[in-house]
Amino acid sequence: MQLVLATNNRDKIREIKHLLEDLPATLLTADDFLDFPDPEETGITLVENAILKARAIARFTEHAALADDSGLEVDALGGAPGVYSSRYAGEHVTYKDNYTKLLREMAGVPEQQRTARFRCVMAIVWEDSSVETVEGVAEGMITTAVQGDQGFGYDPVFFYPPLNKRFSEMTLEEKNQVSHRGKALQAARELIIRRLSRERG
C-alpha cells in the first residue's frame, strides 16, 4: 500500500510518520511529488476540511491519502478558535502570533475557567474513493505564560493535567501517547491495518 500524507506541514508529517512508519505501507509526502497542492480549507468543520484535503490529494496523486484537521476549542471563548486555529491571528501567521493572540484574549480569565481541548479529525480517502474518518480529543487548560520548546502550534500554552506538563514540554513519544493527533492516529492505524488485511485476503 502507498499512502500519501496530505499536508505540507513538516511538524505534522514528523508526528504522523512516528506513529505509522512501522506499518507495511509506503508513506509518501509532498517531497515525493512535483507541484504538490495545498488545498484551501473551505469547510466549516474539522471533518469537512480533513475530507476535503484527503480527497484533493488522493485525486492529485492517484494514491490513498490521509489528511487531518485539528483545532483548539477554548471554553471561555465559546469554542474558538476551533476550525480557524491555524489562522486565528490572520493569514500566513506564525505559531507565536496565534498563541500570543490567544493569551491576550484570555487575559483575566481565572484558572478554573481556562479549560480547553484539542480535537483532531483524520480522514483517509482510499484508492476506490471510499472515505473513513476517526477523531481524537485531548482535554487540558490554557496557561497564562509560554513555556517549553517541543511541539508546535499552541503546544507552549496547552497544559495537560494527567502528565502535569504542557504539550511543549513532552517528548514526541509522550505526546503521541496522549495528544489529540496521537489518539486519532492510533485509530487511523487500525483502519490501515484492517485495509491491509482485507487486501491480502
Active-site annotation, residues: 69
Q: HSE-up of 46 (CA within 13 Å, CB side)?
A: 27
Cβ-Cβ contacts under 8 Å for 51 (sequence gap 6 or more): 43, 67, 123, 125, 131, 133
Is residue 83 within 8 Å of 43, Cβ to Cβ? yes
CA 50 to chain centre: 10
Query: Rounded to 10 degrees, what is the CA torsion of 160, 163, 166, 171?
Result: -130
Q: HSE-up of 95 (CA within 13 Å, CB side)?
A: 15
Could you check whether the bond before residue 81 is cis, i.e. omega within 30 degrees of 0?
Answer: yes
Distance CA(134)–CA(130), nearest Å, equals: 14
